[in-house]
Amino acid sequence: MFVPRLASDLECPDEIRQRARALAEQAEERGVTTGVHPAGFAAACLYKAGREEGRWLTQSEAADVANASKATVRAHRDTLEERVA
The closest alpha carbon to 42, from 85, 8, 83, 82, belongs to 8
> Can you give the pTM of this predicted structure?
0.94
CA 71 to chain centre: 13
Q: What pLDDT sits at residue 85?
A: 66
State the Cα–Cα distance between residues 61 and 42, nearest whole angstrom: 13
Alpha-carbon separation of residue 22 from 28, 71, 74 (angstroms): 10, 22, 19
Q: What pLDDT sits at residue 5?
A: 96
pLDDT along the chain (85 residues), means of 10: 93 94 95 91 96 88 96 95 87
CATH topology of domain 2-83: Cyclin A; domain 1 (1.10.472)
For residue 37, the 8-state DSSP code is -
What residue ranges do the domains of the chain occupy?
Answer: 2-83
